Amino acid sequence: MEPSAKNKILFLNDLVRKVRELQQEGKVIVQSHGIFDLIHPGVIAHLNSARSQGDVLVATIIKDEHVRRGPGRPIFPGDLRAENVASLQQVDYVCVVDDDVPYKCVQAIKPDIFAKGQAYRDRDAAIHRKIFEEEKDLYFGKSRIYETGGFSFSSSQIIKDFLQIYSAETQCFLREFSRKYSFPDVLGKIEELRKLKVLLLGDGIIDEYHYCDPIGKSAKSPIIVNKYLAHDIFAGGAFAVANHLAAFCDHVTLVSLLGTEDSREGFIRDHLKPNVEAKFFYREDGPVVVKKRFIHQYSNQQLLEIDYLNDAHIHGVLESEILAYLETTIPSFDLVLVSDFGHGFITDEIIRTIETVATRFAVNTQTNGANAGYNLITKYRNPTFVCLDETEVRLAARDKFADIESIARTVARAVNSSYLIVTRGKNGSIGINSSEEVTRTPVFSTKVIDTVGAGDAFFAWTAPCIARGYPLDLTSFIGNAVGALAVRVVCNKKPVEKHELLEFIHALLK
């Protein structure tokens, strides 16, 4: 890259200072924002049109982890995308920025004009309606929004058509699905979910990731010595499920169990979305559940896990208080979700109460290192919806080798569930309804960073779809799209937001 082009690339703070200096000189600043993954005729036409509106053109490039524009994106990493754009003579300055909250960088830069490409007019109107209509001033302040003209080219469509991101089988599935459901159809269904009142009952977990680098074998014992590098702490388990729900449902109530000693309640409340109402109960004979994982920094492989918990079932006065609360509270909710990790909170009496009082309830019974073979879905009866992974459903059926379709039927009959979906990793998912009709959906993920928490995301998004009576094929499609986004996030660092799911689905159905 030419030195002159390299000098165009700035950090955000430096760019903001530069923009202020130029504005004080009377220069009109134009900002364009996007992925800039492929530089095609549509991008050039957009930048030419944007440049004509002012004196200085700033291009902000969405960083890799915040690109949600469809499978396989971005094709090129952020530093290369920035270099490509900086090499264009139309562009004066380039910056790689966060986009976890869409267009947030505009608030910092405060351009005189924000140039929006024609290709995104319909997409943004549907996906980011709140940004462009209800809260325009909050996001864009005094910046004038200018829609560039010219031919509309879609990078997502070019990538989809020519780079063959998916197998022939998945491409065939998407073609057939898009004939049955358009993007506006799916958008409308997802928007309807916000009206549901959801009660979530489950084991909350603090997930700790301690990143290490192996440095050799101990000279005195047969163990690998690791050097500590850094750590992250996440709100996982039912806490994560609540945040996923709150991304698309307005009313979410979480019921969970903490320990009286070192409850971590402050951390937990700080990491729940504002529209999650938390009702906590406290056990005196155990801590809040903490799962401390030691991770190889570069491969992201787990080396060791240590769990801090008392997984014996609660009882006595504490259980009675929870039962009384559920009996009076559940009837006011449209749906009850049970996120059962088998860590002592969900007792048989609590299960019977849910089965008796709830109009609709959905269950996910997790198998993990602390409960393998003991926390089975067969302890529930008559759930509206059951969501399990393949290991969990095979354990419930006590069958390691049979065809997954027959396994799903066996378990659905055993618990008398109206709907059951089995997630199968790279093999997608299989769903079965009360008529024993089977729906198979392929996997949509192309990049996997971490699978921890992906099942929770899938469960959180699909259970409300079932509660609203959506078809199983549509529900499974939404769930698999959610899963594809969830595996790109480390542990439960952030929930799958509605706008990013809609962006991903929009790209899938083009």
- Predicted confidence band of residue 162 (pLDDT cuts 50, 70, 90): very low
Instruction: Say if residue 394 is in the same domain as residue 251.
Output: yes
Side-chain-side CA neighbours of residue 195 (13 Å): 7
pLDDT tens-digit profile of 209-218?
999 998 988 8
| 174 domain-assigned | no
CA distance 410 to 279: 36
Same domain, 458 and 315: yes
Do 282 and 347 lie in one domain? The reply is yes
Q: Is residue 134 in some structural domain?
A: yes
Beta-carbon contacts of residue 499 (< 8 Å; ≥ 6 apart): 102, 127, 128
Residues 271, 350 share a domain? yes
> In this structure, is residue 172 part of a structural domain?
no
Rounded CA-CA distance 369/391 in Å is: 13
Report which secondary-structure segment, H or E, holds 245.
helix 238-246
Average pLDDT over every residue of 263-282: 97
- Residue pLDDT, tens place only, 126-135: 666 655 555 5
pLDDT of 504 strictly over 60: yes
* Other Cβ atoms closer than 10 A to 352: 13
Q: CA neighbours within 13 Å on the CB side: how many for 51?
A: 13
Q: Which domain holds residue 64?
A: 3-162
How many domains is the chain built from? 2
Asked whether the whole model's pTM tops 0.75, one would answer yes
Crossing angle, helix 498-508 and helix 183-192, to 10 degrees?
160
- By the 8 A CB rule, do 314 and 260 touch? no
Pair (468, 406) in one structural domain: yes
Q: In this structure, what CATH number is given to the domain that contains residue 17?
A: 3.40.50.620
> pLDDT above 70 covers what percent of the chain?
91
What is residue 147's predicted lDDT score, i.e. its pLDDT? 83
Q: Are residues 124 and 211 in the same domain?
A: no
**Are residues 154 and 211 located together in one domain of the fold?**
no
Instruction: With respect to residue 248, please indicate whether it lies within any of the assigned structural domains.
Output: yes
Neighbours of 150 (CB within 10 A): 15
pLDDT, residue 3, reads: 55
> What is the end-to-end Cα distance of the chain in Å, rounded?
34
Instruction: Round the average pLDDT of the chain to a whole number and report it.
Output: 90
Provide the pLDDT confidence category of residue 116 given band limits of 50, 70 and 90. Answer: confident
Tell me, yes or no, whether 332 and 452 share the same domain: yes
Q: pLDDT higher for 124 or 171?
A: 171
Q: Are 370 and 470 in the same domain?
A: yes
